[in-house]
A and B are shown apart, each in its own frame.
Chain A
Amino acid sequence: MDVTLHIQRQVEGRKWYQDYTVPVTTGMTVLEALIYVKEHLDPTLSFTCSCRSSICGACAVRVNGNAELSCEVLVETLTQRYQTERLTIRPLGNFKVIRDLVVDWDPKAARIKKIKPALDPKPEFTPETGCKQTPEEFNRYKKYAGCILCGSCVSECNKNTLNQKDFLDPFAFVKAEQLTADTREKDPKERLKAVLDAGLWRCFNCQECTAKCPKHLDPAGAIEKLKEATFKYGLADNVGAKHAKAIYDDISESGMLDESKLNIRSEGLFLSALRAPMALRLMNVGKMNPMDSHPVNPEIKTIQAIVKTAEKEG
């Protein structure tokens, strides 16, 4: 089967798309197809790769708009998934492109430093005697230790696409959750403060990172776990946490959101006052009436039972 790779090229300021036809054989990965192009059709095509067994993270690219680890995914899988013999290959999103499919990782390293990315062990542990933790405690964070820094999670992250300056890459949150959940750590609170400052509550919850992670680490889930931890460590004095708390209170008390008060309880009276024009517009079109008393959902008993069960499941 011949497959056309429609590849985004970018060399020294010039940008264009170029088509290459590759004879696809059984088990041919996207990376092997790229190597075929470089060796047989065009030596100028540039990309990075190293281990070709999905552990080093060097070769992630975007195929038809979705991040893929190119050494892992077969061309055939994608032609079947997209029902086409023409695949569009571009560099990862939310990265600066250096050339063709090669992206710049250095700003990412600088960003990951913000979350204090190394373990600071408790005082009872020493380099000579190591540390202790139970197998159960290990199990709590081991999944997150599987991150390979391939960048797939950030490629389609909508929050990062909107603004990278007040948020981090999902993999940084994965690392933060790994270390926060690690019982060897002396002071998870210090790290959580840093994570809050780095934009924890600004996640859009769009789940793109979780959908794209080739290691199935669920970065969006890690972000949620970090949010939970901020409550546990008494770091809930911020808009995001208060917003979550207000929703929780409404639902557990009345089973319905009281949207006219939600904003005041999240941002406080002063900041909410700045939103008065929007409130007036909402009132004008009948979307909000401050005079209404907040109704109670007739199914409130069931809703409270659900909340309780969810809390128990943790």
Chain B
Amino acid sequence: MAREFSRRSFIKGMTAAGVVLAVGGCMSWDGKNIPEKVKTGDVTYDVLIIGSGGAGMRAALAAMENKDLKVAVMTKLMPTRSASTMAQGGMNGVTGVTDPADSVESHVFDTVKGADYLCDQDAVEYFAERAGKNIFEMDYMGYPYNRQADGSFHQRKMGGSSHARAAYFEDRAGHAMVHTLYEQCLAHDVDFISDCQMLEISMSGEKNDQLNGVIALDMRSGNLIGIAAKTIIIATGGYGRVYWVRTSNPYSSTGDGIVAGMKIGIPFKDPEMVQFHPTGLSVNGVLLSESSRAEGALLINKNGERFMSKYAPQKMELATRDIVARAIATEIEQGRGLGEGIHAGVYLDFTKIPKERIQERLGQVADLSKRFAGVDITEKPVMIAPTCHYSMGGLEMADFHTGASRVPGVFVAGECSCVSIHGANRLGANSLSEVLVFGHTAGDGASSYAKNHPYVGDQKKLMADCSKWADSFDEVTTRPHMGNRTVPEIRDDMVNTMWFKCGVFREGKQLEEARRELAKLRQDYDKCYVGDSTRVYNTAYEQYIELGNLLQISQAIVEGAIARKESRGAHTRRDFPKRDDVNFMKHTLISPEGDHYKIEYKDVVVTKYPPKERKY
């Protein structure tokens, strides 16, 4: 069952149960973004997937294999607008096609080493065994792979991989994946519930472990809807937007699913592990591809020095992402950068590269630099700085064989989850494979759970939760401006705190400051000004919800970063510059507890590869 719930018709003073009966289907609602049966309350989904990126759609296709099940994919935009679309490089998987010498063993080792040993090696083995199969399967679904002479897809070698194992479409591997999956979903008549912002996962029962369903805001009508579901798969993507302009992620990467998951008791695993890419445009964080440096672009500071000679004299600009990102951040911090504040950067200089080569191989880089920074890279250097690229942390996946979280009926997949296979640093082209492998796994896991379990939720509670949000919408959107800060003002403060106190470099004292500042921002947020009280497509309210999620994610990152007193992978503590395998070969697990966050730890699973120094 599912019901729409209109705020306007909410008659205060009635009992919750009475309200449920009173409001069913009384709002005008002509959009087709929601299946009719959801509006009339005639459906309890067996598998409800939140998020329509690669993981969400792959999960839907897997779950749909059982024809008896009712499956739907909910998204806050429409299915092809996700972060997966932006992935450029490819998807890793051992197939033996381009490089017969490649092996699952090698993929496992590269991933473990790349992760700086903070991944669960049994999960990595599971992943690497299946990644290749998914590449063949996508071929059969219609993925437009670039081909090699023998007619097979071609695979290329990505950073940190010892073999050519990433299959791809041009420099738009993610875009092609998302559209191929979308086509399959259309062909299989998957129910899409689009333009719906998830607000909460509704639970009931004495231990609060029985899933009722999901509460969402239908952006089209402004109605709050409660959708009953036996199982859900959270596949809502990462949280790069905590760094706002200093991220390559889309505006929609706001960690919505992670916050909803934390609230029902799924720990946020390794939140402090955030990957920074060294070369984002200073002006807006948009990524300039890794190939810039591969083709010979130089990094230059304010004084005209090629500063990489101080940090990686052998490899210079070609050192790994984390090393280059730290070098750039150091230059800026020590006053050898250009520009101010969040837009400070150093030069990336292409002028030594022949013009023809730039045109031939760096077309997109030239185009982005020209468009956003107004710089012709064949004539002048362009200003860049590190940009947040990927969230290794996420909701704890309790069983990687099924995608299940520790809450019964709730599954997780994709960037919002932490399996963990990326550990402290993700390798290029492992993320698209991850969404395919674990999207598939979670889809299978949820469908088999749904087949073998009855619906145990409480629909009255579902509707009560719905009405609670309806009230909240009214209160939040009608707040006066006077004396209250706006959503963008609070967000900008959050970003300054996160970028300067919990960014590429971290230090105990600054992290403590960040903790205090975020707590203060949470207070500001509780009475902030939204400025739009209309019902239809209220993006101001949606941004308010997203900011609330980003603030909670930020707090978790800071808590994780304070507690992890070592430097590992993407997490760099100035006060603890060494990796500490004695105390920190373990995952951070963060859960909200009242006003603060509780930290627990879980040992990293090591099967074959005990930690060694990570050198490239």
Contact = CB atoms under 8 A, between A and B. Distances in A.
A100 B538 CA distance: 10
The interface size bin for chain A is 35 or more
Contacts of B133: 128
Contacts of B530: 43
Contacts of A135: 146-149
A193 to B, nearest CB: 17
Contact of B540 (A44, A98, A105): A44
Given A27-B374, A117-B183, A142-B170, A44 B80 contact: no
Interface string B351-378: 0000000000000000010011110000
Nearest to A146: B172
Among A12, A51, A102, A178, chain B packs the most CB atoms within 10 A around the CB of A51
A26 interface: yes
A56 B86 contact: yes
A242 to B, nearest CB: 32
Contacts of B395: none
B81 A102 contact: no
Interface in A23-76: 26-27, 29, 32, 38-40, 43-44, 46-53, 55-58, 72, 74
Contacts of A119: 140-142, 183
Among A74, A118, A134, chain B packs the most CB atoms within 10 A around the CB of A118
Interface string B167-183: 00110100110010001
A141 B286 CA distance: 29
A49 B374 CA distance: 22
Interface string A116-147: 11110100011111111111011001100111
Contact of A138 (B32, B145, B150, B186): B145
Contacts of A48: 77, 81, 539
A128 B134 CA distance: 9
Interface in A59-104: 72, 74, 98-100, 102, 104
B172 A184 contact: no
A109 interface: yes
A110 interface: yes
B140 A117 contact: no
A51 to B, nearest CB: 4
Nearest to B370: A27
B536 interface: yes
A235 interface: no
B140 A148 contact: no
Interface in A189-226: none
A109 B135 CA distance: 26
Contact of A125 (B140, B287, B368): B140
B31 to A, nearest CB: 7
A165 interface: no
Given A130-B139, A133-B151, A135-B149, A106 B32 contact: yes
Contacts of A182: 142, 144
Main secondary structure of the interface of B (DSSP, over half): loop
B58 to A, nearest CB: 13
B534 A109 contact: no
A179 interface: yes
Interface in B164-218: 169-170, 172, 175-176, 179, 183-184, 186-187, 192, 194
A110 B77 contact: no
A55 B534 CA distance: 30
B536 A11 contact: yes
B486 interface: yes
Contacts of B80: 56-57, 148-149
Contacts of A184: 139, 142
Contact of B147 (A43, A100, A138): A138
B32 A50 contact: no
Given A47-B539, A56-B82, A138-B147, A121 B32 contact: no
A39 B250 CA distance: 18
Given A27-B372, A27-B373, A138-B147, A49 B86 contact: no
A145 B372 CA distance: 26
Interface string B102-143: 000000000000000000000000000000010111011110
A191 to B, nearest CB: 12
A53 B372 CA distance: 10
Interface string B567-595: 00000000000000000000000000000
B267 to A, nearest CB: 28
Contacts of A104: 31-33
A52 B284 contact: yes
A107 interface: yes
Contacts of A142: 144, 146, 169-170
B539 A52 contact: no
B144 A58 contact: no
A147 B149 contact: no
Contact of B137 (A40, A55, A106, A127): A127
Contact of B152 (A100, A113, A130): A130
Interface string B62-88: 000000000000000110111101100
A244 B564 CA distance: 72
Given A104-B31, A184-B142, A55 B148 contact: no
Contact of B32 (A26, A99, A107): A107
Contacts of B39: none
B339 interface: no
Interface residues of B, number: 67
B535 A12 contact: yes
A27 B81 contact: no
B151 A134 contact: yes
A105 B194 contact: yes
A112 interface: yes
Interface in B370-417: 371-374
Contacts of A39: 486, 488
Given A50-B250, A119-B142, A130-B135, A148 B537 contact: no
Contact of A52 (B135, B175, B286, B486): B286
Given A44-B531, A53-B86, A118 B77 contact: no
B220 interface: yes
A272 B420 CA distance: 70
Contacts of A133: 147, 151
Given A27-B374, A44-B540, A56-B81, A109 B186 contact: yes
A55 B173 CA distance: 11
Contacts of B549: none
Contacts of B170: 142, 146
Nearest to A179: B142
Contacts of A47: 539
B194 A118 contact: no
Contacts of B142: 118-119, 121, 179, 182, 184
B81 A12 contact: no
B347 interface: no
B198 to A, nearest CB: 16
Nearest to A126: B140
A129 B144 CA distance: 15
A193 B287 CA distance: 43
A220 B183 CA distance: 22
Contacts of B373: 26-27
A34 to B, nearest CB: 11
A137 B151 CA distance: 9
Given A38-B540, A100-B537, A133-B151, 9 more contacts: A38-B539, A53-B368, A109-B192, A117-B186, A125-B140, A128-B137, A130-B136, A130-B153, A134-B149
15 contacts: A27-B371, A48-B81, A50-B82, A51-B250, A56-B86, A106-B32, A110-B32, A117-B186, A127-B136, A128-B137, A130-B140, A134-B149, A142-B170, A175-B183, A182-B142
Interface of B: 31-33, 77-78, 80-83, 85-86, 133, 135-137, 139-142, 144-153, 169-170, 172, 175-176, 179, 183-184, 186-187, 192, 194, 220, 250-252, 283-284, 286-287, 368, 371-374, 486-488, 530-532, 534-540
| 6 smallest beta-carbon distances between A and B, as pairs | A119-B142, A132-B151, A43-B531, A130-B139, A118-B187, A130-B136
